[in-house]
Amino acid sequence: MQISRRDLYNRVWSTPMSKLAHELDISDVGLAKACRRHNIPLPPRGYWAKLAAGKAPPKPALPSSKIDIVELDAARHRLAETPKVEIDRASIKAAQAAQGEALAGVAAVTFERLTNAKPSADGFVTCGSSRVIACSLSSATVERACRVLDAIERAMPAAGARLAHNQEAKRVEVDVGGERLGISLAEDYSRTETVEVDPKYSWMKSRTFTYRFTGELRLTITGDFAGRKSWADGKRSRLEEKVESIVAGLASGAQAIAQLRAEREEQRRRWAEAAREAEIARERQRRLRNFSDQLHKEAAAWHRYCEVKAYVEHLQSQINAGEALPEQSREWLRLATHLARLTDPTKARLEALQAGISGYDYDLPFGRTIVS
């Protein structure tokens, strides 16, 4: 689609990128690239939160540009839609029914790590490594959070998923048929800022933040696909009741990643094929230029031969019949005739044509060079 540069600038500064990208049917990454390519300034990180608090920085002016229309290639920048995947619901229910006091595998290790962790000054209890799932919670929700992780871990086989330990990235990931997705769990919170002014120096201010945890959990998965990536406690249902949806989301996300990778590989194959065809075309042009150069050289040599031969014959015609020439003069005419014959490319070219142009070299289809 096409949109004026001024209109896109106004919309970027009036609507968050993720929402605007959805309205324009393009990925937020593709939209940001289009803006940068057309020198359209973007809101800085945290702009919308500051705007809501009435502290947003001033909007920069739109720089001038010779191009007034922005082309948004949605087909190029849109991520693949997340496919719907059917999962074994009976297996999930059986896994939920099998839940007991003991936690499963990674959930148990995560629980142990969180219960032994010392809360930060702000009250956060965190963990994250190749052995445990990344979490950021308050101490009060640790047990419930690990119960949620336990339910998800037990239900994963219904979607062909499992938890995998990524030693290099130092995190636990979800492996679905070889595709990897990141996974993390966090507790929502609100933050209150307190500004204290120094009684003696009014320009000296100190800011402190007080965090209040809501007890509401949010599970997030990460991966290169478009689709649902988070589940949270809501007014109607809690995270424990969304295990089936979470597992289905993991499966569909992995499938979308595989689909996107296949599309990108196919695109790279097409690019490679186009590059190969372009190289063949360039080589064909190079050989054609070479053929033309050689042909013109032979034609020029033949013209020189004709001129020299005609000149020698003209000289001979001007000599009176029976006129005796000195030996040196007769030798000059013989040598001129001989050299004229040497410059004639006709014989060599006819022999080459009759023998057939063969061999694979850069002179094809001209073949052996007759005149250098």
369/298 Cα distance (integer angstroms): 9
Task: Give, as one character, the DSSP assignment of residue 226.
Answer: B
pLDDT attached to residue 75: 59
- Could you please report the per-residue DSSP string of 273-319? HHHHHHHHHHHHHHHHHHHHHHHHHHHHHHHHHHHHHHHHHHHHHHS
pLDDT attached to residue 359: 52
Chain centre distance of CA 299: 53
Task: Give the number of other Cβ atoms within 10 Å of residue 272's Cβ.
Answer: 10
Backbone angles phi, psi at 188, to 5 degrees: -70, 155
104/114 Cα distance (integer angstroms): 15
Q: Which residue has the tokens 């424990």?
A: 240
Task: Give the number of other Cβ atoms within 10 Å of residue 82's Cβ.
Answer: 21
Backbone angles phi, psi at 222, to 5 degrees: -125, 145
Domain ranges of the chain: 2-77, 89-267, 284-355
Nearest-5° angle of CA 81, CA 84, CA 90? 155
pLDDT, tens digit, 9 for 90 and up, residues 18-50: 889 888 888 888 888 889 989 999 999 888 888
Task: Give, as one character, the DSSP assignment of residue 81.
Answer: B
pLDDT, tens digit, 9 for 90 and up, residues 55-65: 888 889 999 88
Q: How far is CA 294 from CA 302, 304, 305, 356, in A?
A: 12, 15, 16, 17
pLDDT attached to residue 208: 85
Task: Give the number of other Cβ atoms within 10 Å of residue 220's Cβ.
Answer: 14
Task: State pTM to two decimals.
Answer: 0.58
161/165 Cα distance (integer angstroms): 13
Q: Where are the alpha helices (DSSP H) in 14-141?
A: 17-23, 28-37, 47-52, 74-77, 89-97, 105-116
274/288 Cα distance (integer angstroms): 21
Q: How far is CA 217 from CA 91, 101, 233, in A?
A: 25, 21, 6
Could you tell me what percentage of the chain is helix, strand and coil, using 3-state DSSP and rounding each to the nearest 5? 50, 20, 35
pLDDT attached to residue 361: 46
290 contact partners, CB below 8 Å, separation of at least 6: 362, 363, 366
Backbone angles phi, psi at 138, to 5 degrees: -100, 160
Q: Which residues, given as ranges, of the chain have pLDDT below 70?
A: 74-92, 94-100, 357-368
Buried/exposed code over 236-262 (b: 16+ C-beta within 10 A; e: otherwise): eeebeebbbebbbbbbbbbbbbbbbee
